[in-house]
Structure 1
Amino acid sequence: MKLAVVLAPYDSGHYRSGCGLGPEALLSAGLVDALQSRGHDLIVHDIGRVGDVPGREIATGFAVCTAVAAQVRAACEDGRFPIVLAGNCLTAAGGVAGETADSIAWFDQHGDINTPETSGFGFLDGMALSSILGLCWRPMTAAIPGFRAIEPERCLLVDARDLDPDEKLLLDRLPVVRASCEEAVGQAGKLISAGATRLHLHLDLDVHDPETLRVNRYATPGGPDPVQLRKTVCNLAQSFPVSGMTISAYDPSVDVARKVPPAVSTLLVNFLAALRKS
């Protein structure tokens, strides 16, 4: 299978810091060898430094999305399946734009569906999904070439268990499909019924139960273990038209035993095998 791995090593506007160190850590732990040994034709592209004002979270965050969109688009035009390794969840907007995805499955312990009006901390990544759904930062997302907001009824939010009060209120009003990891494949059929044809798969690695896999400093009890998550994404790959994926939010500094890279490698190997069969 032809693949393109795109590295977006940023965390809240900072280059190669915090979760921005995650993409390279995943790669250097043998991910390329693991994929190539399964017969995949693989290219890797690091977007490098983007934006002209280092440390400015909003400007840099959307500049990263634009750079990722260009690389994902080029991968798709070359017949490659795009896999984006990112520090921040907002980067998924670049994947959506580059793939022209019209639906999204969002695996995350957080809702990421705050807006500037509801966010108590002003954390841009806490508005990542709401940006992709067209609920906020519309001039910024409109500047990402190829971006089209995804309709809320074509969004599957999986295992979001750490929600702000305003996020809960918003999700009560929106037709976003919500599910646990075990329910996700069955609930994803609702996206197809809503007209979905190209699904972007977003995996914030902190969706995992921190008792089984701790990926960053944020930890809320519950969530799937690595085996459960692998099973779900493989079933999605065999059942739905997945056009690309983003993997985000790994901070190597909290993973002293380096359990995360082999878990991600195994997940990707199994997921791509399932995608081949679809």
Structure 2
Amino acid sequence: MSSAAAVAGLGIKDLGFVYFDAHDDLDSPDVNENGYFDAMGLSMLRGESWKTLMNTVPGHHPMELRDKFVYCGLRDLSEVQRQRVADVGMDVIWGDATKKVDFKAALEAVLERKNFSPSLVHLDLDVLDESLGNVNDYPSPGGLHEEELVACLGLVLKKVTPTSLTVCSFDPDTGDGDKIAKIGIRTIITFLKGMQETKALSGNN
């Protein structure tokens, strides 16, 4: 949801997406099983759901989200949700609880194959592996560890021109608030410093 709002505010038609999230956010009300509104953010952005509501958002225009979109760490999906991701045709770097995934190498391969600039960077902290603690009510195994996330975001700064960073879905009351907050703060500060160093973020922005 936060990224859908950011897209409307940015007003960039050819915007790319680097999407760190354990969940696809492509649900529509027709397939959603728990009423969780944030699970519908990308379907709203695509113009598939909540059309009347989204038409009231200044700057909103439906986007295809096919050629310049990559998920990293996606894993906690139902079979219906997996099929929706396949149908839309985004690039995906899947998280996997049964084997080690080299997230940085896989992401680098995608970012070298396509031009994602300019790009919105979406960071849902539940992309972190559940062994690090509860980010929210939807932890899952097979995600990124802290150093992997920092490394992947550093790679994004080298390969993509970021326009914004949205950070979402952190609930400090789920049991591991202080630990996750420290990881999140470190990640955000590192990314913003990198944006300054690459001139993607200046004192005038």
**TM-score w.r.t. length of structure 2:** 0.82
Equivalence for 1:265: 185
Q: How many residues end up aligned between the 2 structures?
A: 186
SS of the residue 2:75 aligns to: coil
Q: Give 1:269 shift.
A: 2.1
Pick closer, same or farther for the CA change 1:157–1:133 going to 2, 3 Å: farther
Are 1:116 and 2:116 matched, yes or no?
A: no
Correspondence 1:1-278 to 2 at 5 A = 90-101=1-12, 102-153=15-66, 154-180=68-94, 181-182=103-104, 183-192=106-115, 196-256=116-176, 258-278=178-198
Pick closer, same or farther for the CA change 1:232–1:103 going to 2, 3 Å: same
Q: Supply the AA of the counterpart residue of 2:35.
A: G
Q: Give 1:273 shift.
A: 2.5
Pick closer, same or farther for the CA change 1:189–1:137 going to 2, 3 Å: farther
Q: Supply the AA of the counterpart residue of 2:24.
A: G
List runs of 5+ in structure 2 lacking aligned partners: 95-102, 199-205
- What is the aligned-residue RMSD (CA, Å)? 1.9
Is contact 2:16–2:118 with CA below 8 Å preserved after alignment?
yes
**TM-score w.r.t. length of structure 1:** 0.62
Q: Sequence identity, in percent?
A: 23
Q: Give 1:190 shift.
A: 4.9
Q: Give 1:259 shift.
A: 0.8
Superposed CA offset, 1:95-130 (max 9, x none): 111112422222111111111121122322111122
Q: Give 1:189 shift.
A: 4.1
SS of the residue 1:171 aligns to: helix
Is contact 2:28–2:43 with CA below 8 Å preserved after alignment?
yes
Q: Give 1:135 shift.
A: 2.5
List runs of 5+ in structure 1 lacking aligned partners: 1-89
Q: Give 1:212 shift.
A: 1.8
Equivalence for 2:97: none
Superposed CA offset, 1:225-246 (max 9, x none): 1110011011102211110011
